[in-house]
């Protein structure tokens, strides 16, 4: 196959990269960005020439830093910056995970990225091709999957515990009922046994709610903790 010889072949190739990509110079300033980057940022390439990636991405750390990207306290730990610097030293960084808070079109949001940085030579100087895959949707799906797995485990454990409580509780209720039948209402133990039976009946109702759970609902508890809202969860499970 003959190699394409169109003058703009490399530009077209760069534009065809399906993830936001930037060409950085030896000072790590953006020279050009591709179409995917423009769509992601809502800005065109000419608006971002000679600017640092964090400034272009509108990283909140960069926005709050006195001199923008690279000057903030958090900048040395920035995965995007570390990857670009590694590429500038001649080492490729492939799909390293980064979590950034960006002020993008539509508002500030947390973005999960896979960052790739590759060195290339131009006029005797090392430049960097920096690409970023937005993995936010996949990350959210993974978190939701993990949460569902945790909730499923919690519901299964609650069901198992309720099953173990149910039989002994029925025995207690039966014994209390027999004891109350044998005592007159004025017996010294009658009031205490009646109170114990009512408490046991409430406990039996709670156990029944736990056994019927198929959904997970929570409510606020002490010290900022959250617990299962049995009434709501059992009601929604029956709906």
| Regions of the chain short of the pLDDT cut 70 | 1-7, 213-219, 223-224, 226-239
**Residue 153's pLDDT is what?**
79
**Residue 150's pLDDT is what?**
78
| Architecture (CATH level 2) of domain 9-134 | 2-Layer Sandwich (3.30)
| Calpha distance 138→101 (Å, rounded) | 17
φ/ψ region of 173 (left if φ > 0, alpha if ψ in -120 to 50, else beta) reads: alpha
Domain chopping of the chain, boundaries: 9-134, 141-238
| Architecture (CATH level 2) of domain 141-238 | Orthogonal Bundle (1.10)
**pLDDT tens digit sequence for 184-234:** 888 888 899 999 989 988 888 888 877 776 666 666 777 667 666 666 666
Q: With b meaning 16 or more CB within 10 Å and e meaning fewer, what string describes 187-209?
A: eeeeeebeebbeebeeebebbeb
**Residue 30's pLDDT is what?**
92
9-134 and 141-238 agree in CATH topology: no
């Amino acid at each position: 196959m003959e190699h394409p010889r169109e003058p703009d072949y490399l530009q077209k190739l760069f534009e065809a990269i399906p993830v936001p990509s930037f060409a950085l110079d030896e000072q790590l300033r953006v020279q050009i960005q591709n179409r995917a980057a423009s769509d992601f940022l809502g800005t065109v390439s000419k608006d971002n020439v000679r600017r640092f990636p964090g400034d272009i991405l509108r990283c909140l750390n960069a926005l709050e830093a006195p001199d923008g990207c690279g000057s903030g306290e958090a900048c040395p730990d920035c995965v995007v910056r570390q990857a670009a610097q590694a590429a500038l030293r001649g080492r490729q960084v492939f799909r390293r995970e980064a979590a950034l808070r960006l002020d993008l079109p539509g508002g500030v949001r947390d973005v999960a990225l896979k960052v790739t940085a590759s060195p290339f030579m131009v006029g005797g100087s090392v430049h960097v091709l920096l690409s970023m895959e937005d993995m936010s949707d996949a990350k959210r799906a993974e978190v939701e999957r993990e949460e569902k797995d945790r909730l499923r485990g919690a519901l299964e454990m609650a069901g198992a515990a309720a099953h173990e409580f149910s039989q002994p509780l029925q025995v207690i209720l039966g014994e209390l009922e027999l004891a109350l039948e044998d005592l007159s209402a004025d017996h010294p133990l009658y009031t205490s046994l009646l109170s114990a039976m009512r408490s046991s009946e409430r406990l039996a109702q709670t156990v029944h709610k736990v056994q019927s759970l198929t959904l997970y609902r929570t409510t606020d508890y002490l010290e900022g903790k959250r617990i299962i809202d049995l009434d709501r969860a059992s009601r929604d499970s029956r709906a």
